[in-house]
Structure 1
Amino acid sequence: MASPAHPSTSPSPTTDTGPRAPSARLHHLDALRAGALLLGVVLHTVLGFVPGAAWLFQDTRTAWWALPVMVVIHLFRMILFMMLAGYFGRMVLMRRGTGSYVRDRLLRIGAPLIAFWPLAVLSLPVVIVAGSALLGRPLPGAVQGGAGDTGDAQGGADGGAPGLLDLLTPGQLWFLLLLLEIILVVVLVRALLVKALGAERAGRPARALGRVLSSPAGLLLAALPYAAGLAAQGTIIGGIQEPTTLVPVPGASLAYGGAFLVGWFLQAESTSLERMARGWPLCLALACLLTAPLLVGGSGTPGSPVLTLVLVPLAGWAWVRGLLGVAARAMDREVFAIRYLADASYWIYLLHLPIVVALGLAMAQMPLPPLVKVALNLLLTTGILLLAYDLMVRSTWIGRWLNGHRRPRALLPAPRRTARRPITP
């Protein structure tokens, strides 16, 4: 499907000249992109149970497992998503041309960012204030005193009174704005290189970097922008911190711009994904080994800043490479349920947070275990949005806008129109 991460068609040969012949669809990348988006829903649900977290809702109970879950998801989710965006982005550009690629991304990323912002972001203060008042609870810490360091929280960028930029915050849709900015920079730099060197000569470094990145040493190279982002943002606590206003921040731009370029260069080398998938057991083992010290201290950061700058980027990219290999082995053909979730995942992410927060506030004082509350919240949120997707999006112009195509309903098939027959006695 076409979305922020990839188009609706298959990859093609990756030379910079000559015709592009389509090949088999990469179903495992479909699944990984959907997983990266849906893990955002999980992250935002779990944050309400992290001890001491300043989030949009705070449950009366905390869970010891909530912080490790948050740390692990935050390590790899966004660099995986941006890497896939770069991979499929270059594919579209090489097949359709620069102008078509930019127009497609403005339509599928920029337009939804603007159109869904009132429902997805602007509605959050209303939901929080109304829900807290109805339940007789104080406002959550993220609303009272700024965003904090735990995730996509809303609030003043400096913890004080909100200004104009804070009121225009992209909220949890920040990654769409950042992705658009990265795309425009990459397209401009590529255009200048092609004009100066020619398409063939400009493409050689991309293919060479793709070969290096898909080798075992590529893990170190991919981790460098992540480490630079951590160093540039001035704090290493909580990993890469997303922008809370319309102004880009160096840390996120470096880390996620680097991830986008990793995917871009990998797509330039036709055998890169296959080469990366071969060492997935070792990568997963390495990811667990590198993540363990980040979890022991309970804050997601070991005592030494230098150690953090080494462990966090390497652990994040080890998870990405390991998951790429697992997905390539497990999902080498289309599975309807996974493809359906992949189609619906963009819609679900765009509109999930107001529902997650409303349900989190409603269940905050219920005498239920945290794991049960998280499961109920996720089931209700995804269930509501899946029904809405099937009824209002999948087979309509909204589905074509977000995903590049219309597909027939699956959960609630539309009734077939039949010709009227005369009633006979």
Structure 2
Amino acid sequence: MQAALAHPPRERLHGLDAVRAIALLLGLVVHASMAWIPGAQYFWVVSDASPGEFAGLLFYVPHMFRMLLFFLVAGLFARMACERLGSLGFMRDRARRIAIPLASLWFPMLMAIVAVIAWNAWLVNNGSMPPAPPTPPLSPRNFPLTHLWFLYVLLLCYIAALIVRVTLGRSAFAQHVADTAVRVLASPVGPLLLALPLAAALITHPKWFAWFGIPTPDQSLYPSLAACVAFGSAFGFGWLLHRQQALLQRWAAHWPLHLSIAISATVGCLLHVGLAPKLVPTTREIADIAYAIAYAVAAWSWTFAIVGLGLRFLSGHSPLRRYLADASYWIYIAHLPLVMALQVAMSRVEWPWFAEFALVLVATLAILLPSYDLLVRNTWIGAWINGRRKPRGLEAAR
């Protein structure tokens, strides 16, 4: 087998780039599926008249792992950038690529989402607007970060990593302990060890809705304990993995094992909760505790498996994959209002759910990919999110 990490330290790690893009683009699949999940009227802006139980799978399975996967790779790339740029250079780089996009794009995204919600309400009420529901005042505890919450949590992770770097970074003992722990966690038993604190955080989370998995911190500036444990541990693990990148070769070699465990644990979870969401908070009975453990094991096993698959099969240079990896950040930032608007449009027709879902997905990419090439890639926006302006077109990614 070809070595998974046969790249010089400063060369682009194409396999991990592809994995990060997969994690972001799976967000489109998750959000695009939500209008067709049975009971969507209770948790989503659009509830289509032609729901399908199997639409739940398109949400449930990717949602298990996509953000764990993203934060793991983000942590690894973050330390790589910090080593290359130094702490001050890293802070400037992350301010430009993460903090500025969050500060400048959050409000336009929120307003676009509100406009789609208003449009759907107008259609549902036959051309008249219903009374606006009461909304609590904006505060740190009530702050609709929308789907851009991941940028906010990334900033918190960067701050925490830099604090630890300054306080413990020069301690030989701390480095030895961290490297030993990472070697254990990167072994085949790693998903189980990583799953235990996540499962504990999930089962103790107030009003945990088990079918929806890890609660995303999208409504407050104070992330829940479950979100901190899930995404913080993934980021920290990725950060420390960068010190021993050769460990990832294990994942490239053992991806069939991790994938088998992921699928088995996912099937077990679905047998417990079903294909459609149950909008009742989970109890702390034995069956629910077992579900939380199985869910966390599945989430981490999927993460190990997909990283391994990416390193095993996607480590070669591909202009198309590189271009999509560059575009995935913009696509994820811009996709949600567009997906919602297309779902509202699809709610006015009576087609099979899978045809409507596919059309939403294809139309979203057909709009956002050209918008990236025309409006982002070689503009000041591209300089923000990609680190520099890049020549337009697929050929430029060679």
- Give the TM-score range, shorter chain: 0.7 to 0.9
Q: Which letter does structure 2 place at the counterpart of 1:65?
A: F
- Counterparts of 1:246-261 in structure 2, within 5 Å, are 246-261=221-236
Do structure 1's residue 307 and structure 2's residue 290 form an aligned pair? yes
**Equivalent residue for 1:8?**
none
CA RMSD of aligned residues (A): 2.6
SS of aligned partner of 1:31? helix
**Equivalent residue for 2:321?**
338
**Equivalent residue for 2:51?**
62
Higher helix share: 2
Do structure 1's residue 123 and structure 2's residue 95 form an aligned pair? no
**Equivalent residue for 2:103?**
114
Deviation at 1:315, TM superposition (A): 0.4
Do structure 1's residue 33 and structure 2's residue 20 form an aligned pair? yes
Gaps of 5+ in 1: 1-10, 14-20, 146-159, 414-425
Q: Deviation above 4 Å: which 4+ runs of structure 1?
A: 134-139, 299-303
SS of aligned partner of 1:105? helix
- Counterparts of 1:113-262 in structure 2, within 5 Å, are 113-134=102-123, 136=125, 161-165=135-139, 168-194=143-169, 198-234=170-206, 235-237=208-210, 238-243=212-217, 244-262=219-237
Q: Which letter does structure 2 place at the counterpart of 1:93?
A: C
When normalised by structure 1's length, the TM-score is 0.82
Deviation at 1:206, TM superposition (A): 2.5
**Equivalent residue for 1:104?**
93
8 A Cα contact 1:210 1:265, kept in partner: yes
Flag the 1:233–1:138 CA change in 2: closer, same or farther, 3 A. Answer: farther
Deviation at 1:300, TM superposition (A): 6.6
CA distance in structure 2 between the partners assigned to 1:193 and 1:356 by the alignment: 44
CA distance in structure 1 between the partners assigned to 2:54 and 2:21 by the alignment: 24
CA distance in structure 1 between the partners assigned to 2:237 and 2:395 by the alignment: 40
Q: Which letter does structure 1 place at the counterpart of 2:343?
A: G
Q: Which letter does structure 2 place at the counterpart of 1:288?
A: I
When normalised by structure 2's length, the TM-score is 0.88
CA distance in structure 2 between the partners assigned to 1:123 and 1:174 by the alignment: 16
8 A Cα contact 2:49 2:350, kept in partner: no
8 A Cα contact 1:71 1:300, kept in partner: no
Q: Which letter does structure 2 place at the counterpart of 1:47?
A: M
Q: Which letter does structure 2 place at the counterpart of 1:56?
A: V
Q: Which letter does structure 2 place at the counterpart of 1:88?
A: F
Do structure 1's residue 75 and structure 2's residue 49 form an aligned pair? no
Flag the 1:92–1:203 CA change in 2: closer, same or farther, 3 A. Answer: farther
Q: Which letter does structure 1 place at the counterpart of 2:53?
A: W
Q: Which letter does structure 2 place at the counterpart of 1:66?
A: A
8 A Cα contact 2:196 2:293, kept in partner: no
**Equivalent residue for 1:156?**
none
**Equivalent residue for 2:255?**
280
What do residues 274-316 of structure 1 show as CA deviations (whole Å, max 9, x unaligned)? 1222111011111111000221231578981111221011000
8 A Cα contact 1:169 1:245, kept in partner: yes
Flag the 1:91–1:228 CA change in 2: closer, same or farther, 3 A. Answer: farther
Deviation at 1:170, TM superposition (A): 0.6
SS of aligned partner of 1:112? helix
CA distance in structure 2 between the partners assigned to 1:223 and 1:105 by the alignment: 29
SS of aligned partner of 1:279? helix
**Equivalent residue for 1:377?**
360
Flag the 1:138–1:42 CA change in 2: closer, same or farther, 3 A. Answer: farther
8 A Cα contact 2:203 2:289, kept in partner: no
What do residues 63-114 of structure 1 show as CA deviations (whole Å, max 9, x unaligned)? 1111122111111001000111111111122222222222222221111111
Deviation at 1:389, TM superposition (A): 0.8
Deviation at 1:347, TM superposition (A): 0.6
Deviation at 1:319, TM superposition (A): 0.6
What do residues 134-189 of structure 1 show as CA deviations (whole Å, max 9, x unaligned)? 464699xxx988xxxxxxxxxxxxxx733313774111111111111122112112
Flag the 1:23–1:379 CA change in 2: closer, same or farther, 3 A. Answer: same
CA distance in structure 2 between the partners assigned to 1:257 and 1:137 by the alignment: 46
8 A Cα contact 2:39 2:277, kept in partner: no
Gaps of 5+ in 2: none
**Equivalent residue for 1:392?**
375
Q: Which moved more, 1:401-410 or 1:37-46?
A: 401-410
Q: Which letter does structure 2 place at the counterpart of 1:343?
A: D
8 A Cα contact 2:185 2:191, kept in partner: yes
8 A Cα contact 2:39 2:47, kept in partner: no
CA distance in structure 2 between the partners assigned to 1:101 and 1:412 by the alignment: 30
8 A Cα contact 1:49 1:62, kept in partner: yes
Q: Which letter does structure 2 place at the counterpart of 1:102?
A: M
Which of 1 and 2 has greater Rg?
A: 1
**Equivalent residue for 1:4?**
none
